Chain A
Amino acid sequence: MAERTVRFGILQFPGSNCDQDAYHALADVLGQPARYIWHKDGTLGGVDCVVVPGGFSYGDYLRTGAIARFSPAMKAVVEHANAGGQVIGICNGFQILCEAHLLPGALIRNRGLKFICEHVHVRVETTDSPFTNACQKGRVLRLPIAHGEGNYFAEPNTIEQLNSDDRILLRYCTNEGEITEAVNPNGSLDSIAGICNEARNVFGLMPHPERASEKILGSEDGRLIFESILRATVHTSS
């Protein structure tokens, strides 16, 4: 499939701190048109893929992502997603997407209580998504994580549904692709590192692909996620 130009819109909330890394990865490394969207903007403008970046939006007050969800920009993101537009939420972005009910479940405090900042391995569980189609099933990606609340929780029937619908896109694994509790950094149920919604246009993941898109940062594996988006994204009309 030929690669296309995808217009990326990167949200900025008070407290977001991974927006510039996302911009750099998309605009400078991948050469895509990218711009910032301020949290108070009620319209996204012409955007194909929304990026909800990492950080500590609103200081993680009340609960991580709880307040960002009510911003005018997030209301526009929900409309965009409901109309079939693509959304990728990274770390705090994943937390915000869960609070906004664009994804099921919630991210709670890491099982070990500590903030973990390290490289981990995740396994691509399915390539049936516009976020992993540039990978091969079973491919191991080395990505950095940096979070204190990355422990994915959902009711048992939700976890069951995610499995049966093939909506778990990434699981924490060893460098050889084995899923074990020992390499689960935060206690996430079913070693879940990233999931998508039913329509498969919204993706949330705890690791940071924008920090693994250049060799100089230690891993280029994150690039594959963005390249998947380039392969798959259809331009929206707005």
Chain B
Amino acid sequence: MMKAKIVVMPKKAVLDPQGKTVKNALESMGFKGIKSVRVGKFIVVELAGSDQAALKKKIDKACHDLLSNPVIEEYRFEISH
């Protein structure tokens, strides 16, 4: 069994009002010097197989087709045991 750890983030060009709101909240908590906050998703997929290259292709397709919306999001992932 392998684990794919996937991070999906809004593209820089997309307005991220959630991130901005979190930044405001952090600042009202007393944090200083925060340049920006962006909020995304972390997805863990556990799957059978050990061929890293084949799994990489599968996960990439899953990310492109379902787990992210390429119009508004970008993704990165790593596969390990």
Contacts and interface: CB of A to CB of B under 8 A. Distances in A.
A108 B66 contact: no
B72 interface: yes
Interface string B3-34: 00000001001110110010000000000000
A4 interface: no
B72 A153 contact: yes
Given A108-B72, A153-B71, A62 B66 contact: yes
A81 interface: no
A73 B66 CA distance: 17
A116 to B, nearest CB: 13
A106 B18 contact: no
Chain A CB within 10 A, most for which of B14, B15, B66, B69: B69
B67 A106 contact: no
Interface string B28-71: 00000000000000000000000000000000000000110101
Is the interface on chain A under 10, 10 to 19, 20 to 34, or 35 or more residues?
20 to 34
Contact of B67 (A62, A98, A108, A112): A62
B69 A111 contact: no
A155 to B, nearest CB: 8
Interface residues of B, number: 12
A94 to B, nearest CB: 14
B40 to A, nearest CB: 12
B66 A66 contact: yes
A113 B22 CA distance: 12
A109 interface: yes
A106 B14 CA distance: 11
B69 A112 contact: no
Kindly name the residue among A105, A106, A151 whose own CB sees the greatest number of chain B CB atoms within 10 A.
A106
B27 to A, nearest CB: 17
Contacts of B69: 63, 66, 99, 106
Contact of B71 (A70, A106, A110, A187): A106
Contacts of B67: 62
A113 B72 contact: no
B15 A151 contact: yes
A223 to B, nearest CB: 32
A62 B41 CA distance: 9
Contacts of A187: 15, 17
Given A62-B66, A66-B66, A70-B66, A109 B17 contact: yes
Across the A-B interface, the 3 shortest Cβ-Cβ residue pairs: A106-B71, A106-B72, A113-B17
22 contacts: A62-B66, A70-B66, A98-B71, A99-B69, A106-B71, A106-B72, A108-B10, A108-B15, A109-B17, A109-B18, A111-B15, A111-B17, A113-B17, A113-B18, A151-B15, A153-B15, A153-B71, A153-B72, A154-B71, A155-B71, A187-B15, A187-B17
Interface of B: 10, 13-15, 17-18, 21, 66-67, 69, 71-72
